[in-house]
């Protein structure tokens, strides 16, 4: 009888805890009714679509990845700075120029910070800008084709990290250097860094119609490290804020030597003032070498231009345009709230978050409340600009975004958590662990006047045991939190490709109707395009052979080619004649020293092949295009270099 009673008690306890797991409120979870139905809130049933887009940077993959929220499903990897065999980006003749730099063809970069174009401080969904950190570049990606359309190299910069953030009407995309370097570059002793190296902050003008970028001016700042940056918005529109570290100007063992000053700075730059100065002929034109690569959607072809000059501005030339705001302990994030009033500096070696007030900054400037200067730039008194300190209880604050309801969310790298706090009262209202060592977080629209504050994505640096193990190297982990309630709630955990340093997101409605389905064949202006299979042909110019080829389900025209010789350079110009959504054709040739290409409907792409051996060599369609995909193939006959065989081509003979 007694045993029976104990059994019942255990059973009851078990039932109660089972209840708790199902999410009915109990003392353990302490999250109220929110815990119910977590699975339902991230579950997107087959055929249903996500509420929001998230664009997560791919870090050292050099690419940008598109995900859905709340499901965490990945939709596309957009090649930006890296060669990408999946589509042939950087391999096809048309896209090779995209990866041209003043250092030559650089097939890789480290992509960090995506930012979606804005109008009046709100996301407008035209383009997304991203930075290449290693060989300094800024790229613009179309949000109708989800393809990279433009890449501009940044001269005088090194470690293009406080980039690529845009002003609230997309007037400028801003690229700040992480490493200060000699400007112009020259052969000099490294230990003469101090006061000789410069930190270039580059303002790139964005043409409103087509998004084309042009460097307006480079502000030549003192030789600090410029870490991250944010535009002022609304009331602070016209200013830009840059966090700095290594104000010690150390050139070696920075982990110690750049961590000595109790406070570094957030640099506040009145770009409108400098813009006016430059518009009136101010600044110095200096020789510089950088490339500007533009992809034209109508010719499906990129061109690369080498630029030779840039306008630089020395801070001393525009008095009253730049101020330094002391900020404790090597601040990383420097984030501006949706109202434009607060500038949040996350001192990554401290426990607290320092918040500056834009109004107080203006008042301090007016009253000249300076605490000395650095290289002629006034340093504002810390207590005169500081609005408050968030006593977080965490360690290593990195980056902050906002929900538009008066709350801020800050990641803490060292203590591995997201902390929610209130703007104005600076009180901490919630904290949730991340898994593990979170870098940046992203709230769709969280870097705008109007955040779409339902989900928060935390991007972690360390994965450890979150997924099934895959050897020493693993994808990074991300977590999605629901932030619609008072308390944050962890919904889901998903692996991310490459290393996401930051992300941008928006409501799906902003993009879905503009997303292109096909390219129009009748608008294809590629010089080697053919509009009809009747125009398919092969032409020889010396040892260059141009094959004008078309594809449609399920054949190439032509598919038998003879008269090619060893030593020829054979260009396959392939036009996909499909005008149907999601029917690409691929092309690959045996022994080709480059990748396959994937040709979208209405598009023309070119793949080069240099045959080295005689024989009859096959090519085939790499994309499973139709039921007759396996039949979509052809042969090229390669004759000896001295052969007299005339060119001939055919289909179906």
Partner 1 sequence: MIIGAALILGLFVFPMWNIQLGAPQYPEPLGIDIYINGLQGQSEFDLQNIDGLNHYIGMKTLPKAEDMWEFTVFPLVTIAMSVFGILIGLIGLFKGISSNWFAFWFILMSIFGILGVYDFSQWLVDYGTDLDPNAIMKLINPDGSPMQYNPPLFGHKKLLNFDAYSYPKAGGILLWMGMMFTLIAFLLAKKSNRNNIQ
Residues of this chain that interact with partner 1 (CB under 8 A) are 518, 552-553, 578-581, 627-628
- Bond preceding residue 70 cis, omega within 30 of 0: yes
Distance of closest approach, residue 580 Cβ to partner 1, in angstroms: 5
Measured from the CB atom, the residue of 628 and 645 that comes closer to partner 1 is 628
Distance CA 116, CA 162 (A): 16
Distance of closest approach, residue 520 Cβ to partner 1, in angstroms: 9
Measured from the CB atom, the residue of 50 and 314 that comes closer to partner 1 is 50
Measured from the CB atom, the residue of 63 and 575 that comes closer to partner 1 is 575
- DSSP string across 162-193: EEEEE-TTSSEEEEE-SS-EESS-----GGG-
Distance of closest approach, residue 524 Cβ to partner 1, in angstroms: 14
Distance of closest approach, residue 553 Cβ to partner 1, in angstroms: 6
Measured from the CB atom, the residue of 253 and 627 that comes closer to partner 1 is 627
Distance of closest approach, residue 507 Cβ to partner 1, in angstroms: 22
Distance CA 27, CA 8 (A): 22
Residue 586, CA distances (Å) to 354, 375, 564 in order: 54, 57, 22
Q: For 20, list phi and psi in degrees, rounded to 5.
A: -60, -40
Distance of closest approach, residue 626 Cβ to partner 1, in angstroms: 8
Distance of closest approach, residue 560 Cβ to partner 1, in angstroms: 19
Distance of closest approach, residue 579 Cβ to partner 1, in angstroms: 4
Measured from the CB atom, the residue of 465 and 580 that comes closer to partner 1 is 580
- DSSP string across 89-151: BTTSTTTGGGGEETTEE-----B---EEEEETTEEEEEEEEEEETTTTEEEEEETTT-SEEEE
* First vs last C-alpha separation in the chain: 92
Residue 441, CA distances (Å) to 388, 417, 642 in order: 22, 11, 63
* Nearest Cα residue to 356 out of 339, 377, 335, 329: 335
Distance of closest approach, residue 145 Cβ to partner 1, in angstroms: 18
Classified as helix, coil or strand, 486 is coil
Distance of closest approach, residue 515 Cβ to partner 1, in angstroms: 14
Label residue 205 exposed, middle or buried (CB < 10 Å: 0-12, 13-18, 19+). Answer: middle
Cβ(202)–Cβ(154) under 8 Å? yes
Q: Write the CB contacts of 67 (distance below 8 Å, at least 6 apart in sequence).
A: 53, 54, 55, 56, 73, 74, 75, 494, 496
Distance of closest approach, residue 631 Cβ to partner 1, in angstroms: 9
Residue 91, CA distances (Å) to 170, 216, 297, 558, 596 in order: 31, 31, 17, 23, 8
- Bond preceding residue 86 cis, omega within 30 of 0: no
Cβ(385)–Cβ(398) under 8 Å? no
Give the H/E segment covering residue 364: helix 358-366
Dihedral of alpha carbons 361, 365, 370, 373, sign: positive
Measured from the CB atom, the residue of 194 and 517 that comes closer to partner 1 is 517
**E strand intervals along 395-475:** 397-402, 407-412, 417-422, 428-433, 438-442, 455-460
Measured from the CB atom, the residue of 536 and 583 that comes closer to partner 1 is 583
* Nearest Cα residue to 605 out of 523, 526, 518, 532: 526
Measured from the CB atom, the residue of 268 and 625 that comes closer to partner 1 is 625
Task: Indicate the DSSP class of residue 5.
Answer: H
Distance of closest approach, residue 554 Cβ to partner 1, in angstroms: 8
Measured from the CB atom, the residue of 1 and 627 that comes closer to partner 1 is 627
At 252, list the tokens. Answer: 């070696």
At 436, list the tokens. Answer: 């593990």
Q: Write the CB contacts of 425 (distance below 8 Å, at least 6 apart in sequence).
A: none
Distance of closest approach, residue 652 Cβ to partner 1, in angstroms: 11
Measured from the CB atom, the residue of 552 and 636 that comes closer to partner 1 is 552
- What percent of the chain is helix, strand and coil (3-state, nearest 5)? 15, 45, 45
Distance of closest approach, residue 575 Cβ to partner 1, in angstroms: 15
Cβ(533)–Cβ(577) under 8 Å? yes
Count of all residues that appear for the chain in the document: 653
- DSSP string across 253-288: -HHHHTT-SSEEEEEEEEHHHHHHHHHTT-SEEEEE
Distance of closest approach, residue 101 Cβ to partner 1, in angstroms: 39
Measured from the CB atom, the residue of 480 and 521 that comes closer to partner 1 is 521
Measured from the CB atom, the residue of 616 and 628 that comes closer to partner 1 is 628
Measured from the CB atom, the residue of 476 and 555 that comes closer to partner 1 is 555
Measured from the CB atom, the residue of 4 and 581 that comes closer to partner 1 is 581
Distance of closest approach, residue 649 Cβ to partner 1, in angstroms: 22
Task: Indicate the DSSP class of residue 521.
Answer: G
Measured from the CB atom, the residue of 214 and 580 that comes closer to partner 1 is 580
Cβ(403)–Cβ(409) under 8 Å? yes
Q: Write the CB contacts of 594 (distance below 8 Å, at least 6 apart in sequence).
A: 88, 91, 607, 608, 609
Measured from the CB atom, the residue of 102 and 579 that comes closer to partner 1 is 579
């Amino acid at each position: 009888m007694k045993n029976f009673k104990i059994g019942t008690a255990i059973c009851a306890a078990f039932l109660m805890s089972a209840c708790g797991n199902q999410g009915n409120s109990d003392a353990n979870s302490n999250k109220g009714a929110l815990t119910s139905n977590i699975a339902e809130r991230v579950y997107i049933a087959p055929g249903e679509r996500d509420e929001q887009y998230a664009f997560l940077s791919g870090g050292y993959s050099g690419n940008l990845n598109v995900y859905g929220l709340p499901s965490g499903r990945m939709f596309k990897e957009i090649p930006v700075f890296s060669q990408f065999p999946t589509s042939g980006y950087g391999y096809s003749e048309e896209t090779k120029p995209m990866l041209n730099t003043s250092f030559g063809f650089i097939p890789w970069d480290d992509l960090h910070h995506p930012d979606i174009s804005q109008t009046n401080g709100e996301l407008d969904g035209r383009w997304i800008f991203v930075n290449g950190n290693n060989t300094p570049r800024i790229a613009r990606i179309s949000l109708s084709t989800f393809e990279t359309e433009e890449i501009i190299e940044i001269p005088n910069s090194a470690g293009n990290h406080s980039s690529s953030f845009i002003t609230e009407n997309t007037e400028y995309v801003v690229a700040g250097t992480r490493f200060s370097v000699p400007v112009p570059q020259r052969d000099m002793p490294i230990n003469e860094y101090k006061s000789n190296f410069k930190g270039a902050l580059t303002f790139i003008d964005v043409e409103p119609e087509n998004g084309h970028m042009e460097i307006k001016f480079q502000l030549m700042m003192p030789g600090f490290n410029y870490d991250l940056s944010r535009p002022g918005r609304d009331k602070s529109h016209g200013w830009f804020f840059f966090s700095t570290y290594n104000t010690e100007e150390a050139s070696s063992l920075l982990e110690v030597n750049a961590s000595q000053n109790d406070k570094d700075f957030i640099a506040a730059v009145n770009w409108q003032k400098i813009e006016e100065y430059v518009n009136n002929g101010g600044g110095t034109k200096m020789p510089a070498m950088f490339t500007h690569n533009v992809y034209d959607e109508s010719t499906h072809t990129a061109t690369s231009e080498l630029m030779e000059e840039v306008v630089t501005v020395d801070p001393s030339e525009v008095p009253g345009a730049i101020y330094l705001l002391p900020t404790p302990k090597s601040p990383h994030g420097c984030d501006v709230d949706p109202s434009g009033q607060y500038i949040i500096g996350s001192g990554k070696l401290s426990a607290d978050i320092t918040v500056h007030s834009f109004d107080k900054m203006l008042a301090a400037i007016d009253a000249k409340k300076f605490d000395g200067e650095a290289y002629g730039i006034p340093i504002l008194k810390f207590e005169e600009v500081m609005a408050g300190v968030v006593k977080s209880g965490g360690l290593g604050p990195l980056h902050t975004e906002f929900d538009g309801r008066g709350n801020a969310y800050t990641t803490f790298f060292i203590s591995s958590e997201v902390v929610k706090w209130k703007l104005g009262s600076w009180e901490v209202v919630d904290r949730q662990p991340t898994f593990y060592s979170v870098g940046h977080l992203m709230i769709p629209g969280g870097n705008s006047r109007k955040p779409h504050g339902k989900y928060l994505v935390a991007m972690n640096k360390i994965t450890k045991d979150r997924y099934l193990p895959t050897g020493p190297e693993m994808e990074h982990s991300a977590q999605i939190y629901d932030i619609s309630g008072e308390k944050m709630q962890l919904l889901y955990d998903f692996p991310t490709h490459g290393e996401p340093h930051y992300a941008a997101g928006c409501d799906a409605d902003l993009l879905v109707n503009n997303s292109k389905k096909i390219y129009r064949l009748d608008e294809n202006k590629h010089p080697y395009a053919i509009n009809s299979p009747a125009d398919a042909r092969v032409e020889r110019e010396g040892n260059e052979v141009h094959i004008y080829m078309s594809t449609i389900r399920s054949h190439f025209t032509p598919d038998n080619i003879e008269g090619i010789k060893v030593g020829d350079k054979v260009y396959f110009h392939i036009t996909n004649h499909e005008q149907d959504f999601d029917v690409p054709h691929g092309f690959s040739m045996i022994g080709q020293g480059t990748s396959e290409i994937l040709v979208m409907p209405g598009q023309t792409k070119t793949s080069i092949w240099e045959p080295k051996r005689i024989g009859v060599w096959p090519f085939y369609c790499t994309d499973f295009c139709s039921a007759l995909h396996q039949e979509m193939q052809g042969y090229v006959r390669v004759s000896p270099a001295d052969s007299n065989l005339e060119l001939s081509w055919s289909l179906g003979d």
